[in-house]
Amino acid sequence: MTTHAAETHPVIPPMPERTPKALREAIAQHAPQLLPDFDEHWKWAIADAYDLGPVPAFMARWWCEYAIARDPKLDAHVTELQHRAAEATDIAEAKALIDQVAKIRYGTRKLEPGE
pLDDT in tens, 60-103: 999 999 999 999 999 999 999 999 999 999 999 999 999 999 99
Closest CA to 110 of 54, 75, 67, 78: 67
The pTM for the full model equals: 0.86
Q: Is the pLDDT of residue 109 over 80?
A: yes
Task: Give CA–CA dist 109/1, Å, rounded.
Answer: 48
Q: What is the pLDDT of residue 37?
A: 97
Q: Is the pLDDT of residue 111 over 90?
A: yes
Q: What's the half-sphere exposure (Cβ side, CA atoms, 13 Å) at 25?
A: 9
Dihedrals phi, psi of 5, to nearest 5 degrees: -65, 130
Calculate the alpha carbon distances from 90 to 44, 93, 94 in Å: 37, 5, 6
